Amino acid sequence: MAGPLTLKRAGKYGFCAGVRIADRTVRKLASEGRSGKILGQLVHNERVVSDLVQVGFATAASLDEVRAGTIVFSAHGVPPSFHRRALERGLLVVDTTCPFVYDVHEEARQALEAGFHAVFIGDSAHREVIGYTHDIVLTTADVERIDFDRHPRVKIFYQTTLNSEEYEDVALAIEGAADHAERADTICYATKENQDAARDLAADPGIDCIVVVGGRHSANTRHLWEICRAAQPRSYLVHGSDDLRADWFADCGGVGITAGASTPDSMIEEVEGAIRLLAASPAPASGPLAAPEAAL
């Protein structure tokens, strides 16, 4: 390296308020000696999930797996029927659904009552989307499969963790196919702030490469990496310090760091410290990773 390394964090990054509250809620339950199951990952971060297992809250893939005790609904939300089923089963429900997701649920309910057909742009396997969808689309080809003759009035919703600009063609396809279509503003403000800050970081002329920290299955973290990579090709997505390679930083004067909404502060600090050590190494460390994508 020609000079001292400069590390710069994005203006906004890491745990959003909803995720932070969900994490604290479950850890408080554990500190009180309680245990139970979490329906799906509380947050899409393997480190956090592993930590919660250690304190007595393992992940359940479905509600049918939980026969007794406490069930925690994650920040991503669940369909209203899940609450009813859990209570009928005698389970103690701890609901950590993000308030913003509940706002989307309510807007979707009102749209349906007003005679709209709800179309969600999102990943059909994402728990948030499963919670309140009729038709789910992610590509223009998905839009073509909807019979809009049956749905003259359509309300377009977005999965809250998406970058809406990347799906403008999908929204336009819906608007072109439906007689009447309206868009709901359902992109999480925290997600948008993280994405805007990532763009600013990638555009900084003093930044030579960027490290994005987050879970391997976190949609919002991957979107951050895609945003950074578009402006700064030397952008790497890592889950933790073990994914880093010294050769990434061999000729970097400035390294940018950002993180998804499911990434705890401790992981960001761990990665930042490891970057400093790797950048100071006299020789690049060898490892199995050969490209930014390999760190996924």
Residue 129, pLDDT above cutoff 80: no
pLDDT of res. 288: 37
pLDDT value at position 292?
43
Between residues 34 and 190, the one the model is more confident about: 34
Q: What is the pLDDT of residues 64-92, one digit of tens each?
A: 999 999 999 988 888 778 899 999 999 99
Lowest mean pLDDT among 2-11, 25-34, 279-288: 279-288
Residue 281 has pLDDT above 80, yes or no: no
Read off the pLDDT of residues 134-176 as tens digits, 9 standing for 90 and up: 799 999 999 999 999 999 899 999 887 777 777 899 999 999 9
Q: Give the separation between CA 255 and CA 263, rounded to whole angstroms.
A: 18
Of the pLDDT bands very low, low, confident and very high (cuts 50, 70, 90), residue 119 is: very high
Burial of 275 (0-12, 13-18, 19+ CB in 10 A): buried
Check whether 286 has a pLDDT greater than 60. no
Q: Is 128 a catalytic residue?
A: yes
To the nearest whole number, what is the mean pLDDT of the chain?
87
The pLDDT, as a whole number, for residue 295 is 40
Domains, the chain, in order of start with CATH, read 6-14+190-295 (3.40.1010.20), 17-97 (3.40.50.11270), 100-183 (3.40.1010.20)
pLDDT given for residue 156 in this prediction: 95
226-272 tens-digit pLDDT = 999 999 999 999 999 999 999 999 888 999 999 998 899 999 999 99
Please report the pLDDT score of residue 116 as a whole number.
Answer: 95
Question: Which residue among 32, 107, 128, 168 is the active-site one?
Answer: 128
Percent pLDDT > 90 in the chain is 59
pLDDT given at position 3: 57
